[in-house]
Amino acid sequence: MSSLWIKGARVIDPAAKRDEVGDLFVRDGKFVASLPADVKRRAMKIDARGLVACPGLVDIHVHFREPGQTHKETIGTGSRAAAAGGFTTVVCMPNTSPVADNAGTIQLIKDVVTRDAVIRVYPTGCITVGMKGQTLAPIGSLKRAGVVAITDDGDCVQSNDLMRRAVEYARMFDLPVMDHCQDHSMTQGAVMNEGVMSTRLGLRGWPHAAEDLIVARNVILSEYTGAHIHLQHISSKFSVDVIRRAKQRGARISAEATPHHIALTDDALATYDTNFKMNPPLRTEDDRRALIDGLRDGTLDIIATDHAPHTDYEKDKEFDFAPNGILGLETALAVTLEVLVRQNKFKLPYVIDLMTRRPAELIKLPGGTLAASQEADICVFDPDEKWRYDAKAGFSKSSNSPWSGQTLTGRVKTTVVAGRVVFDQGKIVGKPL
């Protein structure tokens, strides 16, 4: 049996309210309270003095582009980027080519995960056939095929009645519904936040009301049906207020914020750099502050990256025509630590909770804990190390990151999945699971 001994780390396990300098022990892929003396001598040892050891990070919103868009990313390259960022579990969105609206495509994705992924990768299925918002996908079949949620992310179901039926069926199958909140009638041709900066740049604006309306719709449907609806990449301060009041009433609503929406505003688009173009768009400083406040008081439940790779030649176009989306996995921890811990004085265990236990529990996934007998998924990082991020030298197949070339603080040193080291000191060292 393989064994691992992580020595002298600041061990943070929000699930157990543990925050102390100590050791972690792993045997045969699972956490144990200790190792026998003879096993300790043979164990792989990691000197983690001065470092933090926490549960492996969990991201329930990534785009790995396989099948059909492997020029942007593959499950193999995406999982390596995730491991480099300290993530041991991710949930993939279904807007692939073809979209994941049937059991056959889900099985294909699972087969590729088994063959190529170095971390845990879980699929989602579509809400509607073809992600066209017209006919419900076979939700029961998707559940049996192994999806952990349904979503038309990258799109949004516009029909309120169809969305009602979707969440009713999803509740029957105990599946969360994840929704990209956007009223299409208000965003035709929009490429950035509607406001002073869009007027100055002469670009079509995406009003926050287009998000707010669908957030409110989903709150109503959740309260009406009792279904769990998860609101993806919230960006508007009004939406935060709607969610806060809904939770006070007991609605089964959860919501996420991204590292880029809590770190950046639409002022970043002043040079028309398409690496700052995303959906929903970067908004104002007031919106950014509201997201941080929402994370602080629990209105927003988790951090998720919305990792969205695109090739250089796709992004290197006029702003109106470049696709939305940025990379997020390799920089998420550093950016989140900077904004929440250093700038806004969040406690480190609370921030780790936003990226480990909470997302795992939302989607009912294993992980998010260092408890004995659980699968040994671990992220070891230096919260104070400064490093220069070069997206072209990263592990993703694409390089569309607004942080490329910048110096970040907080670096992942080692990532462990099921007791096996898969990333260490800047290199992928693990084979596919």
Known catalytic residues?
306
Distances (CA, A) of 278 to 181, 286, 371: 14, 18, 38
* Tokens 């990691």 -> residue: 46
Query: How many CB atoms within 10 Å of residue 37?
Result: 7
Conformation bin of residue 262: beta by default, left when phi > 0, alpha when psi is -120 to 50: alpha
Conformation bin of residue 50: beta by default, left when phi > 0, alpha when psi is -120 to 50: left
Bridge partners (DSSP) of residue 192 are 205
Contact criterion met (CB below 8 Å) for 342 and 334: no
Short-list 428, 421, 259, CA closest to 340: 259
Rg from Cα positions in the chain: 21
Q: What tokens appear for 127 in the block?
A: 């809400």
Tally of CA atoms within 13 A in the half-sphere of 26 that contains its CB: 25
- Residue 364, classified by CB atoms within 10 Å of its CB into exposed (0-12), middle (13-18) or buried (19+), is exposed
The secondary structure of 98-127 as a DSSP string is S-S-SHHHHHHHHHHHHHH-SSEEEE-B-S
